[in-house]
Structure 1
């Protein structure tokens, strides 16, 4: 019979992440484990795929909160190829919005350097249609409200 369990050190070694990161992921509810009678942490082998998904999504700039909300949709430990396809389809729109925003930033950044935007009424990056100038001069959107952050 094949043992489908892994010790935390094995998961860390095979996934290429630190044990402390696995603890953090578990604390955030992204992965789960159980304890043996000897109080050793054990993971189902399928945790390796979940960790891989987390790493891929994080490298794409997707927050752990969003990753968790998608992983929570699966009642079992296993994440199938179809599950991954569904997640990637949903994430694609978020990533396309981020790409568009970054391209806009790249293309307009030169005109922004040194503009003193804390005192200008308009900013082509943060207020492209100057709709916020009605509220007066100065920065009106200091924090990006993007769901990816």
Structure 2
């Protein structure tokens, strides 16, 4: 199999609709492979276009760059996900989506009541979270995170 053609950082940026600085950042974070020319410029395998698209999709789904990097490192030879890889990754994404749907449904159900923020400014908060007892459970909206009111 002949080697994959190499393209410039500007070409990758233009084809993905992103700034050169973003492509450079992804390269620095070892999310996309590159090689240096004799002049010191970065050149990329053309398949990096699909890899950048994958990264952007995963980010839009709420994955951190660290999580994306772990997913990509699981691929052999630092390659772009192929059809078989995508089937496996989509199962992971689907499980994540289902979890987010469940969390959003819980949020939707909880919006009618106190969210456990500890503000003590609402009449109901004084009943459910008197003297900010939920603070001992950690920061954030404890009731939305699944904690039960401390009465």
Higher relative contact order (CA 8 A, sep 6+): 1
Q: Distance in 1 between matches of 2:93 and 2:4?
A: 34
Residue 105 of structure 2 corresponds to: 103
Residue 70 of structure 2 corresponds to: 69
- Cα distance 1:49–1:141, how it changes in 2: closer, same or farther (>3 A)? same
Query: Which has a greater percent of helix?
Result: 2
> Any conservation in 1 of the 2:114–2:128 contact (CA below 8 Å)?
no
Coordinate RMSD, CA, aligned: 2.8
TM-score normalised to structure 2 length: 0.75
Q: CA deviation at 1:15?
A: 0.6
Q: Which of structures 1 and 2 has the bigger CA Rg? A: 2
Residue 137 of structure 1 corresponds to: 133
| 1:26-45 pair list within 5 angstroms | 26-45=27-46
| 1:1-149 pair list within 5 angstroms | 4-76=5-77, 77-112=79-114, 117-118=118-119, 137-139=133-135, 140-142=137-139
Q: Distance in 2 between matches of 1:36 and 1:3?
A: 15
Range with bigger deviation, 40-49 or 26-35: 26-35
Kindly tell me the number of residue pairs found equivalent between the two proteins.
133
TM-score normalised to structure 1 length: 0.75
